[in-house]
A and B are shown apart, each in its own frame.
Chain A
């Protein structure tokens, strides 16, 4: 079974530029998450989708960050304009559909992440 796919792996941009990250979750997983991981810290949830609807975006800086999951499968996360403090690894995760996966419904499976450097 293929894992969570993310691209690009690395991105370097200058401040005030825009950037987009892509995530393709594990096939059949209804729930998708985007996390931000700053160097030396644990991941912090930015947004959670259930199919193509937003469940929680309370930690997403909406003045510059946006995310969508139009068809309930893959997702994009965008930053516009980027700031120096956005330098981090952006991780995507997915988990099985609640109610269908039984015991495994709340285990999140992560991609390798996109490392963003804002100069």
Chain B
């Protein structure tokens, strides 16, 4: 069975601070995908990033970066120089390679104060 754990319930920062969101996952599959989604107050889940299990290269995309470590089953996500518009609930999710079903964590609420 798949499981995604986001231990941080809420994070509050001041604008321009960096924010790192933790995600730990469990799966018996050798091929899988990991995702981060953002849910602003409007309610729509917005796709941010995806990583497959064979690619542990960490990347930076604008103000977003991620740290994928299979050895610790972690897929952490960082927002650099946070802005008020980054305030939202962030979800980590996991899917198997062939059925595309997403298993979500409980989410981390990020509040960025001006």
Contacts and interface: CB of A to CB of B under 8 A. Distances in A.
Interface in B76-114: 91, 93, 95, 99-102, 104-107
Interface residues of A, number: 27
A18 to B, nearest CB: 23
Q: Is the interface of B mostly helix, strand, loop or mixed?
A: strand
B43 A112 contact: yes
B101 A31 contact: no
Contact of B105 (A42, A91, A107, A111): A42
Contacts of B44: 3, 110-113
Nearest to B47: A107
Given A40-B106, A42-B107, A106-B95, A56 B101 contact: yes
Interface of A: 3, 31, 33, 40-45, 48, 55-56, 89, 91, 93, 95, 98, 105-113, 115
